[in-house]
Amino acid sequence: MKNITKYFIGIGLIGILHGCSLEENNPGGSTAEVVFSTPEGINALINSAYVYYGSEFYGREDILMLSEGGTDLWINIANSGYGRQMTKYDGLNSTVGQIRNSWNRFYEIINYCNSGLERINDVEFEDEQEKKSRIGELSFLRAFTYWHIVEQYGGVDLHTQETKDAVLTVNRSPVLDFYELMLSDLDVAIANLPTMPIPATDVGRVTLKAAYGLKARIALTRVAYEESQSEKEAYYKIASQAAQYVINNQGSLHVALYDTPEEVFRPANNKNNKEAMFVITHSTVSSLNPQEKNPNRLHIWFKAKYSGKAGMVRDLGYGADRNSSTGGMCFMPTRHLLELYDETVDRRYEDWFREKYYLNVDQYTWTADDLSAFGKPASLAGTTLKRGELALWFTKQEVSGDKRSLSYALVDINDTYNGGNVTANARFNVHFPSLKKYDDPDLAEIGSQVGTKDVILMRLAEMYLIAAEAETMSASGDKSLAAQYINILRHRAAKEGKEEQMTVGSSDMNLDFILEERGRELCGEHIRWFDLKRTGKLLEYVKKYNPDILLIQPYHLNRPIPQQFLDAIINPQEFGQNEGY
State mean pLDDT over 123-146. Answer: 97
Peptide bond into 199 cis (omega under 30): yes
Mean pLDDT rounded to a whole number for the chain: 92
Task: Report whether 108 contacts 19 (CB < 8 A).
Answer: no
Say what the pLDDT of residue 287 is: 57
| Longest CA–CA separation in the chain, Å | 81
Say what the pLDDT of residue 534 is: 98
Name the pLDDT band for 166 (thresholds 50, 70, 90). confident
Say what the pLDDT of residue 13 is: 28
Provide the percentage of residues in the chain whose pLDDT is more than 90: 85
Give the containing element (helix H, strand E) for 14. Answer: helix 14-17
Assess whether pLDDT exceeds 90 at residue 291: no
Say what the pLDDT of residue 443 is: 86
Say what the pLDDT of residue 36 is: 78
Assess whether pLDDT exceeds 80 at residue 292: no
Radius of gyration of the chain (CA): 24
pLDDT per position as a tens digit, 75-110: 999 999 999 999 999 999 999 999 999 999 999 999
Assess whether pLDDT exceeds 70 at residue 289: no
Name the pLDDT band for 363 (thresholds 50, 70, 90). very high
Which residues are paired to 490 by β-bridges? Answer: none
Cβ-based burial of 216 (10 A; exposed 0-12, middle 13-18, buried ≥19): buried
pLDDT per position as a tens digit, 194-235: 999 999 999 899 999 999 999 999 999 999 999 999 999 999
Task: Report whether 339 contacts 392 (CB < 8 A).
Answer: no
The Cα 7–Cα 45 span in angstroms is 8
Say what the pLDDT of residue 37 is: 84
User: In degrees, to the nearest 5, what angle opens at C-alpha 464 toward C-alphas 463 and 468?
Assistant: 115
The answer to whether the Cα torsion of 204, 114, 526, 509 is positive or negative is: negative
pLDDT per position as a tens digit, 559-573: 999 999 999 999 999
Kindly give the interhelix angle for 208-222 and 128-153, rounded to the nearest 10 degrees.
30
pTM tops 0.85: yes
Say what the pLDDT of residue 299 is: 94
Return the higher-pLDDT residue of 342 and 322: 342
pLDDT per position as a tens digit, 456-511: 999 999 999 999 999 999 999 999 999 999 999 999 999 999 999 999 999 999 99
Lowest-confidence pick of 190-204, 290-304, 432-446: 290-304
Say what the pLDDT of residue 353 is: 98
User: In degrees, to the nearest 5, what angle opens at C-alpha 531 toward C-alphas 529 and 533?
Assistant: 70
DSSP-derived secondary structure for 432-495: --EE-TT--TT-SSTT---B---EEEEEHHHHHHHHHHHHHHSTT--HHHHHHHHHHHHHHHBP
Assess whether pLDDT exceeds 50 at residue 167: yes
- Residue 142, C-beta contacts closer than 8 angstroms, at least 6 positions apart: 110, 113, 114, 117, 181, 182, 185
Give the containing element (helix H, strand E) for 331. Answer: strand 331-333
| Centroid of chain to Cα 73 | 13
Say what the pLDDT of residue 451 is: 86
The Cα 370–Cα 364 span in angstroms is 11
Task: Report whether 334 contacts 73 (CB < 8 A).
Answer: yes
pLDDT per position as a tens digit, 1-31: 433 333 333 222 223 233 232 233 344 445 5
Say what the pLDDT of residue 573 is: 97
Assess whether pLDDT exceeds 90 at residue 146: yes
The Cα 336–Cα 516 span in angstroms is 10
Say what the pLDDT of residue 162 is: 87
